[in-house]
Structure 1
Amino acid sequence: MLTNPNIPFSRNWLLHLMIVVFAVYWGFTAISPTDRIQWIMESILPVIVVFVLAFTYKVFRFSNTSYLLMFIFLCLHTYGAHYTYQGTPFDMWLKASYHTQRSYYDRVVHFAFGLFWGYPFRELLTRAAAQRGFWSYAIPAAVVFSCSACFEIIEMVAAFVAGQKGEAYVGLQGDCFDTQKDMGLGLIGAIISMGMLAWFHHRHRTDDDKPLKRH
């Protein structure tokens, strides 16, 4: 069920469960967020992602593995949006226990973006573009890196438009290399994800990674 993309929606109970859980979770985190304006800014992209996945479902249906990985990432992001990325309980614990000088939850989510979205990007590439071999692993990592760069540009625009709220949204926290580190962590996550998948396919020679027959 996890790897089969051909399950009819009416019988895909796992996808139903993920939709319901995320809707309830998102609604719960929308109640009294730490900063309402920043929550709205942080919530725009996940909402866009969900609508894109819904409207393109009949055109391209991901496997439940991909939906599960995207679901986990969206939950991590939604958690950060509720508390603002600089004030999560995770960061409060880090600061109290290890006396860290900055909040690191945003770095965790950037890494998770690469780790969890590499697989869906590769699935799209192998099924829609019939890409196989080395480039089927390298291109998803490059796409993750590009998406990370685009997000950082969006953050920059938000900082210009929203002023002080935008500066909090960017969350540099005094680190002039914050943007580069965030992008780098996304790339590292994607490389790890694709490396593990390539190793798995090499060991098991799954049908997904066998060379296409040429006629």
Structure 2
Amino acid sequence: MKYYPHILAVIFFVFFVLLGLNPVDRNVWIVEVIPVFGVYLLLLFTYKKFQFSNISYTLMSIWLFWHTIGGHYTFANVPFDFITNLFNFERNHFDRIGHIVVGFYAYPMVEFLLKKEYTNKIIASFFALFFIMSIAASYEIIEWAYAVIEGGNTGIEFLGSQGDMWDAQKDMLADTIGALISLCLYWFNFIRIQKT
């Protein structure tokens, strides 16, 4: 699996280009893919200096793919009816799952801090959790500010609240839950490796 990150990078690049060809709303697509492309380039250009585990690359790629789909359709309008109808939801929860997936970045954050020997496992875990929570809060502020400044349909689609006045708080909670899930995965793997 030596070339796993390379294969993942190529697959994602093709996926990104294809979904960028004819998005539902070009303006929404642009603002949605800026963080995606930023993370992708960061991982690409730092690869020679630092390599994550394949688990970390997998977790990070889930968000890259998920957010790219959301950018193509706009998050509120991704064809996700089978889940909405299955659980009798009142809204499209594609974006909420996307926020859970953001939390998966806690795993590579712990990995980075430990490989660099910046701290121990306990502090690294708490730092990763609080890092995700701060990113979540910052992103909600950016969404709100952009929606106010843009003032039109693009701003509303980027905000993606779908009429839920507690959307921002629920999104931040979803990010936190995703972080806790990935940290549990990290500790599960750590304990499993210690036993072998």
Indicate whether the TM-score tops 0.5: yes
Q: Residue 156 of structure 1: CA displacement?
A: 1.6
Letter in 2 for 1:201: F
Letter in 1 for 2:107: Y
Root-mean-square deviation (CA, aligned residues, Å) is: 2.0
Aligned position for 2:125? 137
TM-score normalised over the length of structure 2: 0.90
Higher-Rg member (1/2): 1
Aligned-partner Cα distance in 2 for 1:179–1:191: 19
| Contact preservation (8 Å) 2:110, 2:121 | no
Aligned-partner Cα distance in 2 for 1:188–1:175: 19
The 10-residue stretch of structure 1 (98-107 or 44-53) with the greater mean CA deviation from structure 2: 98-107
- Counterpart selection for 1:113 from 77, 95, 102: 102
Q: Residue 95 of structure 1: CA displacement?
A: 4.3
User: Structure 1 or 2: larger helix share?
Assistant: 2
- Give a deviation string over 1:12-63, Cα, whole Å, max 9, x none: 4212211111011011111211111111110111111112222222332222
Output aligned runs, 1:1-215, within 5 Å.
1=1, 12-90=2-80, 92-114=81-103, 116-164=104-152, 165-205=154-194
| Contact preservation (8 Å) 2:75, 2:157 | no
Aligned-partner Cα distance in 2 for 1:147–1:206: 34
- Segments of 5+ residues of structure 2 without an aligned counterpart are none
Letter in 1 for 2:43: L
Aligned-partner Cα distance in 2 for 1:97–1:177: 23
List, as ranges, runs of 4+ consecutive aligned residues in structure 1 with deviation greater than 6 Å: none
Q: Per the alignment, in what secondary structure is the counterpart of residue 171 of structure 2?
A: helix
Q: Residue 184 of structure 1: CA displacement?
A: 0.6
- Give a deviation string over 1:69-91, Cα, whole Å, max 9, x none: 2112100111111111011111x
| Contact preservation (8 Å) 1:137, 1:198 | no
- Segments of 5+ residues of structure 1 without an aligned counterpart are 2-11, 208-215
| Contact preservation (8 Å) 2:78, 2:94 | yes
Q: Per the alignment, in what secondary structure is the counterpart of residue 205 of structure 1?
A: helix
Equivalent pairs, count:
195
| Contact preservation (8 Å) 1:110, 1:182 | yes
Aligned-partner Cα distance in 2 for 1:113–1:206: 30
User: CA separation of 1:64/1:196 partners in 2, compared to 1, >3 Å: closer, same or farther?
Assistant: closer
